[in-house]
Amino acid sequence: MALVTRFAPSPTGRLHLGHAHAALFAWRRARAAPGGRFLLRIEDIDPARCRPEFATAILEDLAWLGLDWDGEVRVQSAQLADYRCVLDRLAAEGLLYPCFCSRADIARAGAAPHGPEGPVYPGTCRRLDPALREARLAAGAPHALRLDLAGALARLPRRLEREEEGVGRIGCRPEAFGDVVLARRDAPASYHLCVTHDDAAQGVTLVTRGADLARASDIQRVLQALLGWPAPRYAHHGLLCGADGRRLAKRDGAASLAALREAGTDPAAVRARAGFAD
């Protein structure tokens, strides 16, 4: 099977050297493999943070950097009906429940263990009286949809594994996430749902992403197993740091590809600064 990789940025700002590293990491792998494909996906389901002009700028910045991609660019906000189908499937299996808690409610619940994404949800709305749940839904109360993780894990093999490049098969530890959100209060789907769905829908065989998201692969493996989607291999790469030793972020304007281009830096030099000298 030919290698398929992807770069999947969120259009919440301009790309910086850290993104260039991630994009080049995936692109080089695809281009080095016979018949390999490199896909580009815009992860824009967060209406509050994503802006169309940043999506346009991403394509321009990547092309300037010397990257090309195969096929159409996939845009997540255009796939909402597909995400809805997946949510309906999980709901029909009894693995999804509405959660009316705000962040403040969860913080107030206190003493929640900390997971990779903050306090682990204590499961308050999983235990909600069914009549009360129906009444709140009927009243149009804002809610997220959460996965009943214990229910999901009960249907899967006891030891769930994933293939990490250069390491081999490793055991997943999804419990640390608790009942993850699959549809947000403010968006019809969530990062974990969309990214897992799209990697499967696009036939991605090697998921490459920063080491900061390595744990996310554990919970995404649960969704793949539940929904019968193929298990890709994973390669988590290191994160570039700025002069202050902290990982680069969008707030570091000076490291944006746009700023480098405006300062007259040529693309080959930027590729080298991103860790991929020609």
Q: Which residue carries 């696009």 as its tokens? A: 202
Q: Is residue 192 a contact residue for ligand GLU (CB under 6 A)?
A: no
Asked whether 65 and 270 are in contact (CB, 8 A), the reply is yes
Q: Which is nearer to ligand GLU, 10 or 205 (CB)?
A: 10
Count of residues interacting with ligand GLU (CB under 6 A): 7
Q: Which is nearer to ligand GLU, 8 or 17 (CB)?
A: 8
Least Å distance between CB 7 and ligand GLU? 8
Cα separation values, 206 from 43, 160, 166, 276, Å: 18, 18, 12, 19
Q: Which is nearer to ligand GLU, 44 or 179 (CB)?
A: 44
Strand partners, 162: 170
Rounded Cα distance between 254 and 14, Å, is 11
Select from 29, 209, 221, 271 the one that contacts ligand GLU (CB under 6 A): 209
Indicate if 250 belongs to the active site.
Answer: yes
Least Å distance between CB 12 and ligand GLU? 8
Select from 4, 9, 190, 274 the one that contacts ligand GLU (CB under 6 A): 9
Q: Is residue 195 a contact residue for ligand GLU (CB under 6 A)?
A: yes
3-class DSSP assignment, residue 200: helix
Q: Are strands 4-7 and 37-42 parallel, antiparallel or unpaired?
A: parallel
CB-count exposure of residue 202 (10 Å: 0-12, 13-18, 19+): middle
Least Å distance between CB 11 and ligand GLU? 9
Pull the structure tokens for residue 154. Answer: 């009960």
Q: Are strands 168-171 and 161-164 parallel, antiparallel or unpaired?
A: antiparallel
Least Å distance between CB 132 and ligand GLU? 36
Q: Which stretch binds ligand GLU (CB under 6 A): 6-14, 150-158, 221-229, 252-260?
A: 6-14
Q: Kindly identify the residues of this chain, within the stretch 211-250, that bind ligand GLU according to CB under 6 A.
A: 213
Per annotation, catalytic residue among 250, 258, 265, 276: 250
Q: Please give the biggest Cα pair distance in the chain.
A: 64
State CA 13 to chain mean position distance.
16
Q: Is residue 43 a contact residue for ligand GLU (CB under 6 A)?
A: yes
Q: Is residue 10 a contact residue for ligand GLU (CB under 6 A)?
A: yes
Nearest by Cα to 263 from 253, 272, 274: 253
Q: Indicate which residues carry an active-site annotation.
A: 250
Residues in the site for ligand GLU, rule: CB under 6 A? Answer: 8-10, 43, 195, 209, 213
